[in-house]
Structures are given as structure tokens and as C-alpha cells.
Amino acid sequence: MSAIVTTSRDLCRRCYSCVRRCPSKAIRVRAGQAEVMPERCVACGRCVRVCSQNAKQVVDNLPAVRELLSKGDCVVMLAPSFAAAAHPLRPGQIVAALRRAGFSGVYETAFGADLVARKYRERYERDPFALTITSPCPAANTYIQKYAPELIEFIAPFFSPMAALGKVLKQRIRPGCSVVFVGPCTAKISEARDPEVSPWIDAVLTFYELSGLLALRGVRDVESLDDEEFDPPHSWTGGIFPVPRGLLRTAELPDDLLDNDVSDVIGTDAFVDVVERLRERVRTNHIAELETRFFDVMFCRGCIGGPMMPGSASYLTRKERIVAWMRSRRAHLSRTEWEQAMERYADVDLTRSFEDDCQRTIEPTEAQIRQILARTNKLTAADELDCRACGYRSCRDKARAVFQGRAEVEMCLPYLIEKLQGMVESLNRSHQDLTEAQAQLIRSERLASMGQLAAGIAHEVNNPLGTILIYAHLLRDQVDCGTPVTPEGLRSDIQMILGEAKRCKGIVGGLLDFARQNKVNRSEVDVGTLVREAVGIVKAGRDDSIRYDVVVSDPMPAVSLDRDQMLQALSNLVRNAVELMPTGGTLSVRADWLAERRELRFRIRDSGPGIPEEHMQKLFSPFFTTKPVGKGTGLGLPICYGIVKMHRGTISAFNNEDGPGATFEIVIPVAQEEPSAPTANGFFQPIDGGMT
Ligand code: ADP
């Protein structure tokens, strides 16, 4: 059985509105998606109406109708509610438009309502005590067939107005024609598929599809068409059928509210409630004691409240439009002609039967319900909140749906919130653990750095101290023993001691530079002057064949920096580059103002040997140097790193892609505030090569 309502998976957003509103529990939630179960669906269209995402779609009837039209002699009948749906067009203009669309006849279903109403009247008169549930509403009939089959015997065994007129048309008025019904109801699509109805109705179109059909058939400017009248037979009172109590009035049955014999049951909730009560009566054998004998049932608030009724007009306005349309026609239609037509078709058999299509599913035992409830932590009655967020009226109802494969355990909102809270708490705990672990890691890395620094200092200072000691002992022994020493020899030894002592002083000086970096003394700095000065310091007194290229972008705002520290960092980088180009090359120093990011960027680019891949990770580690002993301390780049860090910037190095040599890049954010308290020297931060 193909579904009348389907779900568009992409659009469904797990709100469960359709689950909540479906009277026949025909929505199954699978992997979070609410889909219609065709075998359980009564096609009432409530899910279509409540879905705010338009995820529920009604089957497309247009292709079938177009095919019927192409075959010829295809007639159409309009549900009586069309007079309320036509607005702002006039009902007569819709009739005219349908003729232009190619229908060979345009009929009013209201005449079918007149015929059916007469059957009800006859039945009532014949046996006023026969328990009767009216049958024009296909959703109501289907509901009873599927969920209350013990009541089938009480459904009035008559065609709906649609099927009745279809039969009259095909049997008596236009044998051989095909018949299309247009109305506000999705359940009519299902009714037309019923084996007892399908010979008389070939296709059903909803009011929503009507404008699409007219457009496809090239019918435009409907508002400028003149009104046209339906093809006969015309209705008399059947037009009031789509209004609650319409059947009672058309059939001229008593509809006095004080009269208990007849009761109208309007709307889904009232209908389901009455069905449940009647079932109970049947089960307990109390049906004969019912005071009400005639139930006029409707799933919607009359067909004018049908799911495919266009526009947002109120119930009252719709009713007024129907009545106005009926009144306007009474002026030119003849009651005598109507009575003659009623007589003409009085012998058409309008009886039908309703099949048992029971869809009741196996009910879980109490133990099974408890087991399912326990899966969402509902262990006692107090845990069952019955909040209805899942779409079911109670936790137990939902547990039943889970058992029957229509719902998923996770659909429980309080359970999910509880689970989420648990997850948040556990995430918070692991975040706390991680923060502690990170702090510990930083502590041990600092200790490791200090150890590394101490070892480096010891190693670097120990060698020259050793040399100083050897030469000092040598000199003392020579003095003690009176060994003759030439002034040159003496001078050379003292020179050695002085050189090594100087080396120690250089190392200690470098360490002192670190200590200074704990504080940034910012002032407005002219970047052009700063860069030129850094290059000048290195260049002074050098006689080399290096081409110096200094560029400072314009405009370049005055920037707040620690001038001395930045000068030291830049000159360190320039000095390294120059020293690595002993035979000459090009040194370019650029300072750029990145306005959008409010960053100052320095690039020191050389055409020297470049940085071997294996050195990249060690560049900023203290005491890493490739220079010969006595020449380099391996403290220049770590000092630069510390200075840049204190300015909250980044420093990185890379080999040039378009030529030999390397480039060092410093980026300093300008608009940022200083750290509130000076942190430890950059040297003691974890060091891992490319620094940020
Ligand atoms: P030092 O200059 O005392 O060796 P640095 O920390 O300044 O100490 O430099 C460490 C090492 O980084 C250098 O010995 C060198 O191997 C490498 N280096 C620095 N600048 C450059 C550069 N421009 N090109 C290639 N290697 C460089």
C-alpha cells in the first residue's frame, strides 16, 4: 500500500509534534526521524497540518488527473466546502475555470450529499433505535476499521456523498466518463482507493493542488472569468454538509441539543473518546443501554476545517461563505427540478460495507513495560513524569510504543537532560584533571628547562674556567720555580686567561639579558628608526660585501614597544644573518603594518646557507649553536624568543622558497593589553622549536 502522507527526512527536526497529534499512533520514530506507517495511517492529515517544517508531504495527485484529462470525457466534482475555499475568487469562477481546464462536466458533490442524507433519513425513520455511526468521514471510518473493528457493524452502510455522486455519474449520467473529486480532505485519497469506491472515483485532488492544475492546463486570470453554474443535477440542502451538523440538517434529523437520541461528535479528540467509550460498552455488553442512538462523527471540525482547506479564514467566516453561496443559488435553482432529480436516482444502490482492517498490536506485559521504563531511569512511579515531550500522553504509553517498535528509548527529554548533565559533570571533572595535569607538566617542563639551563651554563662556563685555571697554575708554577719566561710567552698566557674570562663574562651577560626580559617597558616607538638602528648596530665597523635592503611600509603608525628589548631582538637576528654570509649576500629587513589584523610584522631575510631541517626544532633552545667554540653562546635566539613572548607576539623561522637563505619572522599584536603580571622569563616556557 503506497503511503498518502510521507516524511521528507531532511526536513524532519525531531519535535515529535506529529507523534503528539496522530490519533492512530501511525508515526514511527526511527533514527530520530518521524515517519508515517501507511498500514496504521487513517490519512486524517493532522500530521501535515502540525508540522512546522513541512516535513510531512501528501502524495502528488496531479499526474493521475492530467492523464485522465488527456484521455477525454473526464468530469470533476467539487466538495461542498469549495465555496469557502474559493475566496477571494467567486465559487462560480472556479466552475468556469474547471471547464476551461478541460473537464467535460463540473458537478457538485452536494447533490451526492442530498442522496446520502435521504438514506440516513429513511434508516432513521425505519428504525430510530438502531445504533448508527455516520459514514461520510473516511478518516473516521478507517479509524474504526483499524482500531475499533467491534464497532464496524454500527457504521451506517452507505456511500459517502463523493462515492454516491460518482456512482450516479458513471452509472446513469455519463457512462464511460472518468471522475475526479476535488476537496479539502487527505482521507478522501484513501477512500478513493477502497475497492467498493474505486469503480466510481478515478482520482482525488486536494484544494491545494487545484491552482497547480489550472496553471498546468493554461487557465489564467480566473478572477476575470464570469460565473458559471454546475452541470445538473443541482443540490438543494446538501451544500451545508461540510459544516458540523450538516448531515443532520440535510437529512432533516433532529439536532436538538436537549435530545439525547442524536449526538454530533466533532473533532478528533471527541471522536477517539467516543469510540473508546463505545468499545467499552460493546466489551461489557452494555451497548443496548446507550441513550444516544445516532452519532454524527467527523474527524475535523466539519469538512470546512479539513487539512487541505486553503487560507486562514476562521471557522465562522468559512461557514458564512457556505451559507451565502447556498442562498445565492436558491434564487435561481428550482426545488421541483431537484426533487425530480432525487426521484430519478432514488433506485441507485448507495449501500456499502466496511471491512475489518484491525491494526491492534500486541500489548507488552507489566514486566516488559517496567523493563523499558528502567532503560530511561524510571524505576518508581515518581520517576514517570508524563511530560509528553516525546509525543506520548504518558511514560507508559511511550514504553508501549517502544515495545511495539514505534518509538525509540532516547526520545525521553528528562532522561536526555539528566544524561547530558552527567556528561557535562564528567567533562568538567576531566577538564579539571587535565588542567591539573597541564599545570604539573608545565612545572616539570620548567624544572627540566632550569636543569637544561644549569647544565648548559655549567658546560659553557666550565671550559673557559678550566683553561683559566690551567694557565693561572702554569704562571704560578713558573713564578714559584723561577722558570725564565719571555715577555711574549707571558703575554700570550695572560691573553689566553683574559680571552677565556671574557667568554665567561659574555655568557653571564647573556643570562642577565634573560633576567631583564621579565618586564616590558613600553613607549611609542618609530618603527622605521628602530629597524634602521638595529641594522646600523650590526653594520658599524664591518667591512663586508653584503647588500642591506631596509623597507618600512607606509603608513606605519607609531607603535608601543619596549624599544631596548626590540632593538636587541632585531639586531640579534640581523647579526646572525650577517655572520652566516661571510662572503657577502643580501640582507633584507622589512617592517609591515597589517592594518586589518592590527599587527606589526618584521621579516629578516638573508641569502645565507639556510637552516638544515634537523636544526629547525632546536633553533630557540638555549645553548644551541653551530658556531665554533668561543664564537657563539647559543643564547641569541632564545633571548629573541623571550622578548617577543613578552610582547605577546610570535617568532618563527623558515627557509626561503624562492632562493637561498632563511627568513625570521616576528609578529607583534598591537592593540592587545599587556599581561597583568609579568610571567616567568620566556626561557622557562616549554620550548618546542617554532615558537608562538
Ligand atoms: P649563536 O648565534 O650564538 O649561535 P643563536 O641562538 O643566535 O646563537 O643562534 C643559534 C643557531 O641558530 C646558530 O648557531 C645557527 O646555527 C642558527 N641560525 C641563527 N640564525 C640563522 C640564520 N639566519 N640562518 C641559518 N641559521 C641560523
Grid cell, residue 206, equals 486536494
Residue 352 above 70 pLDDT? yes
The CATH code of the domain that includes 643 is 3.30.565.10
Closest-CA residue to 78 (of 207, 216, 193, 236): 207
How far is ligand 1, taken at its centre, from the CA of residue 502, in Å? 21
Residue 99 to residue 90: CA distance in whole angstroms: 15
How far is ligand 1, taken at its centre, from the CA of residue 515, in Å? 21
DSSP class of 196? T
Averaged pLDDT, 132-155: 96
678 or 58: which leads in pLDDT: 58
Closest-CA residue to 253 (of 125, 133, 134, 153): 125
| Ligand 1 nearest-atom number relative to CA 625 | 14
Residue 356 above 80 pLDDT? yes
With respect to residue 428, please indicate whether it lies within any of the assigned structural domains: no
Contact (CB, 8 A) for 517 and 510:
no
The preferred substitution site among 453, 511, 576 for testing ligand 1, maximizing ligand atoms within 8 Å of CB, is 576
Residue 636 Cβ contacting ligand 1 at under 6 Å: yes
Grid cell, residue 154, equals 454500527
* Per-residue pLDDT reduced to its tens digit, 538-552: 988 787 789 999 999
Averaged pLDDT, 443-465: 73
Residue 646 above 50 pLDDT? yes
DSSP class of 432? H
Residue 159 to residue 166: CA distance in whole angstroms: 10
Residue 619 Cβ contacting ligand 1 at under 6 Å: yes
Residue 343 above 90 pLDDT? yes
Residue 626 Cβ contacting ligand 1 at under 6 Å: yes
How far is ligand 1, taken at its centre, from the CA of residue 131, in Å? 103
Confidence of residue 255 (pLDDT cuts 50, 70, 90): low
Query: Mean pLDDT across the chain, nearest whole number?
Result: 89
Residue 361 Cβ contacting ligand 1 at under 6 Å: no
| Ligand 1 nearest-atom number relative to CA 626 | 14
| Ligand 1 nearest-atom number relative to CA 577 | 23
Q: What are the φ/ψ torsions at residue 169 (nearest 5 degrees)?
A: -60, -50
* Predicted pLDDT at 638: 87
How far is ligand 1, taken at its centre, from the CA of residue 597, in Å? 30
The reply to whether 253 and 163 lie within a common domain is yes
Identify the weakest region by mean pLDDT among 132-136, 551-555, 572-576, 635-639.
Answer: 635-639
Residue 90 to residue 321: CA distance in whole angstroms: 10
Grid cell, residue 297, equals 462523527
Residue 577 Cβ contacting ligand 1 at under 6 Å: yes
The reply to whether 136 and 6 lie within a common domain is no
Confidence of residue 689 (pLDDT cuts 50, 70, 90): very low
The reply to whether 547 and 566 lie within a common domain is yes
With respect to residue 237, please indicate whether it lies within any of the assigned structural domains: yes
* Predicted pLDDT at 671: 67
401 or 681: which leads in pLDDT: 401
Averaged pLDDT, 574-602: 94
Residue 611 above 90 pLDDT? yes
Confidence of residue 635 (pLDDT cuts 50, 70, 90): confident
- β-pair partners for 662: 655
Pairing of strands 203-206, 178-183: parallel
The reply to whether 275 and 335 lie within a common domain is yes
* Predicted pLDDT at 613: 94
Identify the weakest region by mean pLDDT among 100-114, 135-149, 300-314, 517-531.
Answer: 517-531
State the residue for C-alpha cell 432513521. Answer: 124
The reply to whether 185 and 79 lie within a common domain is yes
* Predicted pLDDT at 376: 93
Residue 580 Cβ contacting ligand 1 at under 6 Å: yes
Residue 378 to residue 371: CA distance in whole angstroms: 9
The reply to whether 52 and 82 lie within a common domain is no
Residue 160 to residue 166: CA distance in whole angstroms: 10
Residue 633 Cβ contacting ligand 1 at under 6 Å: yes
* Predicted pLDDT at 672: 45
Residue 587 to residue 571: CA distance in whole angstroms: 12
The preferred substitution site among 538, 625, 631 for testing ligand 1, maximizing ligand atoms within 8 Å of CB, is 625
Domain boundary among 11, 30, 59: 59
Peptide bond into 555 cis (omega under 30): yes
Nearest C-alpha to atom 20 of ligand 1 is from which residue?
576
Residue 49 above 60 pLDDT? yes
The reply to whether 98 and 194 lie within a common domain is yes
Nearest C-alpha to atom 26 of ligand 1 is from which residue?
611
Closest-CA residue to 302 (of 363, 244, 380): 244
With respect to residue 674, please indicate whether it lies within any of the assigned structural domains: no
Q: Provide the residue type at 545 as one letter.
A: S
How far is ligand 1, taken at its centre, from the CA of residue 392, in Å? 72
The string over 465-500, giving b where at least 16 C-beta atoms fall within 10 Å of a residue's C-beta and e elsewhere, is eebbeebeeebeeeeeeeeeeeeeeeeebeebbeeb
Identify the weakest region by mean pLDDT among 22-26, 257-261, 634-638, 669-673.
Answer: 257-261
Confidence of residue 381 (pLDDT cuts 50, 70, 90): very high
* Predicted pLDDT at 256: 62
With respect to residue 389, please indicate whether it lies within any of the assigned structural domains: no
Identify the weakest region by mean pLDDT among 246-250, 252-256, 388-392.
Answer: 252-256
* Predicted pLDDT at 446: 67
Task: Calculate the alpha carbon distances from 502 to 463, 470, 507, 566, 681 in Å.
Answer: 12, 16, 9, 25, 25
Residue 222 to residue 228: CA distance in whole angstroms: 12
With respect to residue 395, please indicate whether it lies within any of the assigned structural domains: no
* Per-residue pLDDT reduced to its tens digit, 466-502: 888 988 998 898 888 888 888 888 898 898 899 889 8
* Predicted pLDDT at 358: 94
Residue 449 above 80 pLDDT? no
The reply to whether 507 and 528 lie within a common domain is no
Residue 606 Cβ contacting ligand 1 at under 6 Å: yes
Residue 533 to residue 236: CA distance in whole angstroms: 106
Averaged pLDDT, 117-141: 91
Confidence of residue 260 (pLDDT cuts 50, 70, 90): low
Averaged pLDDT, 507-533: 81
Closest-CA residue to 179 (of 163, 195, 160, 190): 163
Residue 611 Cβ contacting ligand 1 at under 6 Å: yes
| Ligand 1 nearest-atom number relative to CA 632 | 3
Number of domains in the chain: 4
Nearest C-alpha to atom 13 of ligand 1 is from which residue?
625
Phi-psi region of 457 (alpha: psi -120 to 50; beta: other; left: phi over 0): alpha
* Per-residue pLDDT reduced to its tens digit, 65-102: 999 999 999 999 999 999 999 989 999 999 999 999 99
Nearest C-alpha to atom 8 of ligand 1 is from which residue?
634
Assign 664 to helix, strand or coil.
strand
With respect to residue 447, please indicate whether it lies within any of the assigned structural domains: no
Grid cell, residue 40, equals 496504521
DSSP class of 363? P
The reply to whether 45 and 81 lie within a common domain is no
Residue 131 to residue 157: CA distance in whole angstroms: 12
Residue 206 above 60 pLDDT? yes
With respect to residue 122, please indicate whether it lies within any of the assigned structural domains: yes
Contact (CB, 8 A) for 271 and 299:
yes
The reply to whether 482 and 556 lie within a common domain is no
Residue 576 Cβ contacting ligand 1 at under 6 Å: yes
With respect to residue 486, please indicate whether it lies within any of the assigned structural domains: yes
Note the pTM of the prediction, 2 decimals: 0.66
The reply to whether 288 and 177 lie within a common domain is yes
Residue 219 to residue 76: CA distance in whole angstroms: 16
Cβ-proximal residues to 288 (8 Å cutoff; 6+ apart), any chain: none
* Predicted pLDDT at 467: 84
Residue 660 Cβ contacting ligand 1 at under 6 Å: no
| Ligand 1 nearest-atom number relative to CA 635 | 6
Domain span at residue 491?
A: 459-512
The CATH code of the domain that includes 21 is 3.30.70.20
* Per-residue pLDDT reduced to its tens digit, 411-439: 999 999 999 999 999 999 999 999 999 98
The reply to whether 337 and 212 lie within a common domain is yes
Averaged pLDDT, 629-656: 87
